[in-house]
Amino acid sequence: MDPINERKMFQQLVRAASQINTPQCFLLTAKLLPDLEYSDACSILNVMNGPWIEEPAKAWSSGDCWRTVVSAAGH
């Protein structure tokens, strides 16, 4: 999917999953576009695996690469 439509679909998924009394959703992907907006109702789990992951895992654990999670409300 091209980046424009991928971003639009992700926004729709976040809006739908953030509504009251909606079912749980899982998005499994090898990558995501940068600077996506999440709502406070979203939980993000990153699975890192492989022998090359030691250094990136240290940066993630320390919070060096965390982005600010912004509310998707009103978007």
The average pLDDT across 40-64 equals: 73
What are phi and psi for residue 24, nearest 5 degrees? -70, 140
The average pLDDT across 25-33 equals: 79
pLDDT of residue 35: 83
Q: Is 58 exposed, middle or buried (0-12, 13-18, 19+ CB in 10 A)?
A: exposed
Residue-averaged pLDDT of the chain: 75
pTM of model > 0.85: no
From 23, 30, 34, 33, select the one nearest 46 (Cα to Cα): 30
pLDDT of residue 37: 84
What's the CA gap between 47 and 74, in Å, rounded?
Answer: 30
